[in-house]
Amino acid sequence: MQLREDIRNIAIIAHVDHGKTTLVDQMLKYSGTFREHEQVDERAMDTNDIERERGITILSKNTAIKYEDTAINILDTPGHADFGGEVERIMKMVDGVLLVVDAYEGCMPQTRFVLKKALEQKLTPIVVLNKIDRPNARPNEVIDEVLDLFIELGADDEQLEFPVIYASAINGTSGEEPDEQTETMDPVFTTILDHIPAPKDTSGEPLQFQITLLDYNDYLGRIGIGRVVRGEISVGQQVVVLKKDGSQKTFRISKLFGFIGLKRVEIQEAKAGDIVAIAGMDDINVGETICPRDHPEGLPWLRIDEPTLQMTFLTNNSPFAGREGSYITSRQIEERLLKQLETDVSLRVEPTNSPDAWTVSGRGELHLSILIENMRREGFELQLSKPQVIIKEIDGVQCEPVERVQIDVPEDYTGPVMESLGSRKGEMLDMANQNNGQVRIEFKVPSRGMIGYATEFMSLTRGYGILNHTFDAYEPVAKGPVGERREGVLVSLEDGKASTYGIMQLEDRGMIFVEPGTEIYAGMIVGEHNRDNDLTVNITKEKHLTNVRSATKDQTAVIRKTRDLSLEEAIEYIDDDEYCEVTPETIRLRKKILNKNEREKASKKTKMG
C-alpha cells in the first residue's frame, strides 16, 4: 500500500486554557505559511468574538501548514465538554493527535475526556508540555501524570511510547528537553513528520468522503467539511449522498475548497488523505457519505453526542418588550433557531403547545448560553426558563446525566467545598495533597447539582478555588431535591425607577441586583432575600421632603455594592416560577406572573396541589 508522504493530518487537543490555540499560532508563524509582512492576530484560529473574549475555542477549525515539502492539516478542537461532539467527530479525520498539557496544572478533566476519545480511535499521540517557562512548572511530575492517565485509559503499547516536546507557546520556543529550548517550532514539526503516520494513498479506488463538520455561507449555502477517505473528488463530478434513512440523493459538486494557512482556497480536485470543503447541495448533514453513483458504499455513521440540558426559549412579553431589540417576533426567533441547526449538530429545537415558545436542548449550560449570547448581540430579545437536565430511560430505569468534577483549592477550604457538594448528592472519588498547600479533589455529581454551583463555589473559596467539570455518564436518578436555590428573592411591587433611598431601605433584607436609576417594572426581581421566602418590596420609594432640618443633614447616602449577574449566572439563578429576560442591552430576572395578588394565588394552588 502506497502512502502519501506529502501530507499529515493531526488534531490538537487539550483542556481549556492549556494553550493549544496559541501553539497553532506559533506553528503558523514559524512554518512560513504567512508572507513576511502579513499581519497575524493572536489566537488567529479563534475567529468568533465570544471565543476571543473568553479565550475558549467553541468551533473546530482547520488550517494547513506547509513545512518543507509536507502539508500538515491541523484541526484545532474545543477543549470544553459542552462541545465534545465536535472533538469526537474530528478524531475520524486525522491519523494522530498533539496532546497539549500545562506543565504546572497537569492532567485536568478535559485532558482525560479528549485523550479518551483519541485513544478509542487508535490515533498516534505526541505530548506537548506547554508553559514550560512558568516559574512553578513541574515537567517530570506532569509527564508521570500523563503516563498514568494513558495507562488508566487503556492505551496500547505503541501509544504508550509517545514522544514528548517541551514548549512555551507564548514565547515561541520548543525543545526535546525542558532546559534546551530553541526559538523555533522545528522540534514540533519534525516530531509530527517522524511519528504521525502518513495517510494511505487509495486514489485509484472509488470515492468515499464523509461529512464531519458543517459550515454555512449565504452565497454557497451549506458547506460540508471532511476527509477524502478513499479515491478522488473533483469539481463538476456527479455524486450521490447516502442519507441516514437509507435514501440516496444525486448532486453535482459545484465548488471544492482546500486550506492554506487560515484561508479557504478554491481547488479543482483532491484525493485520499486530503481535508476539503464541498459546496453544491443544501441538504447535507454530518455523518453522510458521498460516493460515485455506480459505487454507493457508506462509511460507519458518526456518533453525535446527545443533548443533556434543555431550556424553554420564549418571545419577550415583559412590560419593556421591544424597547432594546430589533428582532422580537416569534417568527424571527424561530428562523434564527432553525438557522443554528444548520451548523450545530448537537442542538435540538422542538415546538411547544405555544406558538411563542420552543424547547431548546444542548450539551450543557455553556453550549446554550453561547447561542443566547450570540442572539442578543445580533439584536434579539427573548425570555428563558430555568435549565432542566434531560432524563433518559435506560433498560427501564430513569437515568440522569452525571458529571466528573475536579476541584483545586487551598487546604483551608476543603471542608466547606466537600460539604456543599455532599448536599448536592456529590460522591467523592479521590483526594490528593499537592506540594504547594493546594488540595485536588475529584467528585461525581448529578448535572442538576452543578447548575448554579459555580457562583456558590467562588463565594466558598473566596475566589481561590478552580472548578472544572465534564459530562461523565448517565446514571440512575438520585432521590430527593439536588442543588435547589435556598434563598428567596426581592420582587418589585411597582413600576418606576430604583431610588437610592429605596435601595438603602432594603439593604438589610438581602443583596440588591439593581443600581439607583434603573428602570423597574412590577414583578421584576431586584435582589436576593436573605431568607428562604420571596418578599415583594417597593424599591422605587422616594424620601419625603420636609422643611425640618435634621442634625445629620449633611451625611451623604452611601449604598453597598450591588451584585451584577452575568448571562450564565442569571440563567443558573432563576427558579421554576421565574424567567430570565435577555435583550441586546440588559439581562433582567422576573417572575412568570408579574401581578402580586395573582402570583400569591398561584403559589397557594401549587402548595395545595
- DSSP-derived 3-state class of residue 230: strand
Distance CA 181, CA 172 (A): 10
- CB proximity list for 161: less than 8 A, separation 6 or greater: none
Residue 445 counted as domain residue = yes
Residue 86 counted as domain residue = yes
Residues 114-132: tens digit of each pLDDT: 788 888 888 999 999 988 8
Q: What is the pLDDT of residue 53?
A: 47
CB 187 within 8 A of CB 174: yes
Distances (CA, A) of 324 to 136, 295, 301, 585: 48, 55, 44, 7
User: For residue 385, which of 606, 595, 594, 581 has the smallest C-alpha distance?
Assistant: 581
Cell of 297: 458504499
Q: Which ranges of 465-566 would DSSP assign to H, the alpha helix?
A: 500-506
Domain boundary (195, 225, 247) is at 195
Residues 7-34: tens digit of each pLDDT: 999 988 887 677 777 888 888 887 665 4
Percent of the chain whose pLDDT exceeds 70: 90
Residues 223 and 179 in one domain: no
Residues 471 and 415 in one domain: yes
Residues 557-587: tens digit of each pLDDT: 567 777 888 888 888 888 889 999 999 999 9
Residues 446 and 470 in one domain: yes
Residue 1 counted as domain residue = no
Domain total in the chain: 4
Residue showing cell 487503556:
154
131 is in an annotated binding site: yes
User: For residue 88, which of 285, 259, 301, 249 has the smallest C-alpha distance?
Assistant: 301
CB atoms within 10 A of CB 34: 14
CATH number (domain holding residue 420): 3.30.70.240
Residues 135 and 11 in one domain: yes
Residue 247 counted as domain residue = yes
Q: What is the pLDDT of residue 34?
A: 47
CB 172 within 8 A of CB 257: no
- CB proximity list for 115: less than 8 A, separation 6 or greater: 13, 97, 99, 125, 149, 150, 153
Residue 350 counted as domain residue = no
Distance CA 28, CA 562 (A): 45
Quote helix, strand, coil % in the chain, to nearest 5.
Answer: 25, 35, 40
Residues 504 and 414 in one domain: no
- Write the DSSP string, 424-460: TT-EEEEEEE-TTSEEEEEEEEEHHHHTTHHHHHHHH
584 φ/ψ angles, rounded to the nearest 5 degrees: -60, -25
Distance CA 91, CA 390 (A): 27
Banded pLDDT at 476 (limits 50, 70, 90): very high
Residues 130 and 172 in one domain: yes
- Write the DSSP string, 251-277: EE--EEEEEEBTEEEE-SEEETT-EEE
Distance CA 542, CA 561 (A): 20
Amino acid at 508: D
Burial of 48-76, coded b for 16+ CB within 10 Å and e otherwise, reads eeebeebebbbbbbbbbbebeebbbbbbb
Residue 319 counted as domain residue = no
CB 18 within 8 A of CB 100: yes
Residue showing cell 430511560:
393
- The conformation of residue 3, written as its DSSP 8-state character, comes to B
Residue showing cell 434531560:
390
Distance CA 149, CA 127 (A): 12
- DSSP-derived 3-state class of residue 193: helix
Residues 163 and 265 in one domain: no
Residue showing cell 447561542:
371
Residues 57 and 158 in one domain: yes
Residue 189 counted as domain residue = yes
74 is in an annotated binding site: no
Domain that holds residue 443: 392-476
CATH number (domain holding residue 120): 3.40.50.300
Tell whether the model's pLDDT for residue 526 goes beyond 80: yes
Residue 334 counted as domain residue = no
Mean pLDDT for the stretch of residues 242-258: 85
Residues 206-238: tens digit of each pLDDT: 888 988 888 777 777 788 888 999 989 888 888
Distance CA 414, CA 431 (A): 10
- DSSP-derived 3-state class of residue 29: helix
CB 168 within 8 A of CB 131: yes
Residues 48 and 103 in one domain: yes
192 is in an annotated binding site: no
Distance CA 338, CA 216 (A): 13
Tell whether the model's pLDDT for residue 36 goes beyond 60: no
Reported pTM: 0.78
Domain boundary (258, 277, 292) is at 292
Residues 479-523: tens digit of each pLDDT: 877 767 778 899 999 999 999 889 888 888 988 999 999 999 999
Q: Strands (DSSP E) along 244-337, which ranges?
A: 248-252, 255-260, 263-266, 269-271, 275-279, 289-292, 309-314
Cell of 249: 440523493
CB 277 within 8 A of CB 215: yes
Distance CA 52, CA 150 (A): 31
Domain boundary (258, 292, 326) is at 292
- DSSP-derived 3-state class of residue 283: coil
Residues 156 and 21 in one domain: yes
Residues 400-453: tens digit of each pLDDT: 999 888 888 888 888 888 998 888 888 999 888 876 778 888 999 998 888 878
CATH number (domain holding residue 264): 2.40.30.10
Amino acid at 306: E
- The mean pLDDT of the chain is 83
Residues 177 and 55 in one domain: yes
- DSSP-derived 3-state class of residue 188: helix
Residues 413 and 284 in one domain: no
DSSP β-bridge partners for residue 167: 174
20 is in an annotated binding site: yes
367 is in an annotated binding site: no
CB 419 within 8 A of CB 494: no
DSSP β-bridge partners for residue 359: 312, 350
Tell whether the model's pLDDT for residue 192 goes beyond 50: yes
Tell whether the model's pLDDT for residue 45 goes beyond 70: no
Q: Angle 20-30/186-195 helices, nearest 10 degrees?
A: 100
133 is in an annotated binding site: yes
